[in-house]
Amino acid sequence: MSNKQPLKARKVSFSWEGTPLHWVPGDPFTTHTINVLHLLLPAGERWFVHVYKQVLPLIRDERLREDVIGFIGQEAMHSQAHDEVLPHLRELGLDPTPYTAQVDWFFEKLLGDRTLPPGRARKWWLLERVAIIAAIEHYTAFLGNWVLNAGELDRRGADPTMLDLLRWHGAEEVEHRSVAFDLFLHVDGSYRRRARTWATAFAALMFLWQRGARFFMANDPTLVDRRASFKDFYAAGRRGTLPATGDMLRSIPRYLSRAYHPSQEGSTEQAVAYLASSPAALAAEKRAE
């Protein structure tokens, strides 16, 4: 199943001068848990692009190839937009370099090309990574759908520029949510690989995310209580400032169901509607005219 509309990268840009350190007012834990995206996505989405460029020659379907090329364009832009938040965090006294160095190692070395001879081993590792990306995209679509509907962040006065970054990105994740899975089905599609790589992706995301949130909390120069626990996460989920733990747990069997397809998750109409009103996406459209 392919997207009806061709996927296009919107060349957004944001100015961060007015965004405070705790951009969800009075809620450093929520702020920093979401800030982990700025640490993981630049390296993670660069890695998607790196892997997908190697897969392009294996695609035997023109429609899917176009989708993958559109996907590459969108992910490259996402990676750049999140990267541009980091200098602002540094100016506010929160230097993420020690953590991003670990994330870079994770994507470039652990999940990188490895020195494999051309042939079966190299192909196996490429297919494995295509499946890992499909599993991660289950979560980027989940988070995108969540943030588009996270009215509690608006009610609490979250910074509008940050919300627009998250929702522009989230909406594009919902928009292209089927591409990675369709690509996986096209080049391999084995259920065992899907289940195995889901476990890898889920464990890695949980590990990196909680470490990132702890890193930010521990290095936030303004905080006295610097702890971050699962209890805080659970409580934020109940308030609606972060995804609810129950929703996250329920998303697991959906991905592992043999009937799964990402088109059943989230709403393209809602994503497209947000993109039609996003200040950053509108400004990008104007610049492109």
CA distance 55 to 207: 27
Q: Does 214 bind Fe ion (CB under 5 A)?
A: no
Minimum distance, C-beta of residue 221 to Fe ion, in the bound complex (Å): 30
Place of tokens 């890992």: 132
Binding pattern to Fe ion, positions 155-184, x when CB under 5 A? ------------------x-----------
Minimum distance, C-beta of residue 45 to Fe ion, in the bound complex (Å): 5
Q: Does 78 bind Fe ion (CB under 5 A)?
A: yes
Q: Does 100 bind Fe ion (CB under 5 A)?
A: no
The residues near 197 (Cβ < 8 Å, ≥ 6 apart) are 128, 131, 132, 134, 135
Classify 157 as helix, strand or coil.
Answer: coil
Conformational region of residue 13, where left means phi above 0, alpha means psi within -120 to 50, and beta covers everything else: beta
Minimum distance, C-beta of residue 161 to Fe ion, in the bound complex (Å): 18
* Residue among 75 and 182 whose Cβ is closer to Fe ion: 75
* Residue among 75 and 232 whose Cβ is closer to Fe ion: 75
CA distance 283 to 232: 36
Size of the site for Fe ion (CB under 5 A): 4
CA distance 287 to 289: 6
CB 175, CB 7: distance < 8 Å: yes
Q: Does 10 bind Fe ion (CB under 5 A)?
A: no
Q: Does 138 bind Fe ion (CB under 5 A)?
A: no
Stretch that binds Fe ion, among 74-82, 88-96, 104-112, 265-273 (CB under 5 A): 74-82
Q: Does 46 bind Fe ion (CB under 5 A)?
A: no
Conformational region of residue 272, where left means phi above 0, alpha means psi within -120 to 50, and beta covers everything else: alpha
Q: Does 140 bind Fe ion (CB under 5 A)?
A: yes
Q: Does 19 bind Fe ion (CB under 5 A)?
A: no
* Residue among 173 and 232 whose Cβ is closer to Fe ion: 173
